[in-house]
Amino acid sequence: MEKKEYRVGERDDGLRLDLFLAGIAAELSRSAVQKLCRQGLVLVDGKEQCKAGFRLRHGQKIEFYLPPHPQSKAEPEAIPLDIIYEDDDLLVLNKARGMVVHPSAGHRQGTMVNALLAHCRALPAAEEKNRPGIVHRLDKDTTGLLVVAKSDLAFRSLAQQIKDRMVKREYRAVVHGTPPGKQGTVDAPLGRDPHDRKKFAVVQGGKGRQAVTHYRVLGKNGPYSLLAVELETGRTHQIRVHLAHIGYPIVGDPLYGSKRSPHRGKGQLLHSCKLAFQHPRSREYIEFTALPGEEFRPFMPEDPMPPPSAAAPSDK
């Protein structure tokens, strides 16, 4: 990311943050500034400022980070996909480990979107040109189920269902240690890590976005545990950050995992195993499941735990 810095002059005292940056940075419009604020990429005197209407004071230091310009248009590439369901409106696939969902800096080719364009030929346009049909994402090394919109109807419906928390998403995660009890909930807001803009962190003081994660302990294998994890919200890196925050990082996680783990940097053992939603056209509730890959096998529980008496609450 490109970093830029400015100082608020005397004549700009009291000016809105978005007007200030749009006026001095030719590459930024007010809407672009608002988007950067929502992404946690604007700092005032070293602190994240998520309100584009924030009133500035003379002498304040303004920093902002510009993401690299994305590829204007993704090109079709003949890359195999593990498609488990498809119709005229959508497809559900089991994403492989190491596959990036859409083109971005450092990943211009070989992504899931490139493969989808070769398979489908056309996908509904998204807000960003390099993400056609994409309504939700999985990190590069997170495996499992993803739904992709093939029609405008499906794109609108699925995006709204996700926004309204109507899509059920369940994961399997292998973590270091064993959380106490059989189940728990992490309710902690997430935002950009103020010390590393490539990472996310739990942030307090009203600067983060609400994030809620439910988990159940399925069993243990030596120093590791297998968790069932359900998302109530869907923030970037949410499961990875929340589990690390409570002291049980995901095995293999290169960003949030244990620095002393022999598995560090090999890719997080996180798998999207269940996905359920209302079909955009038929209105039928449909559910899909996919088992974790072979990389999970050495960590599978030796002593599976009985299910809890009541499932973790979910507000979907």
Task: Report d(CA 146, CA 34) in Å as an integer.
Answer: 29
Bridge partners, 293 (sequence order): none
Other Cβ atoms less than 10 A from the Cβ of 38: the count is: 14
Q: Length of the chain in residues, anyone?
A: 316
State the catalytic residue, choosing from 12, 89, 139, 253. Answer: 139
Residue carrying structure tokens 């009890």: 181
- How large is the C-alpha radius of gyration of the chain? 21
DSSP structure class, residue 311: P
How big is the CA angle at 291 (ends 288 and 293), to the nearest 5 degrees?
A: 140
Q: Give the Cα separation of 220 and 218 in Å (integer).
A: 7
**Alpha-carbon distances, residue 115 vs 120, 150, 158, 166, 234 (angstroms):** 9, 14, 21, 28, 24
For 306, which DSSP code? P
Torsion angles phi and psi, residue 261, rounded to 5: -70, 135
Residue 139 is a catalytic residue? yes
What's 21's DSSP letter? H
Provide the annotated active-site residues: 139
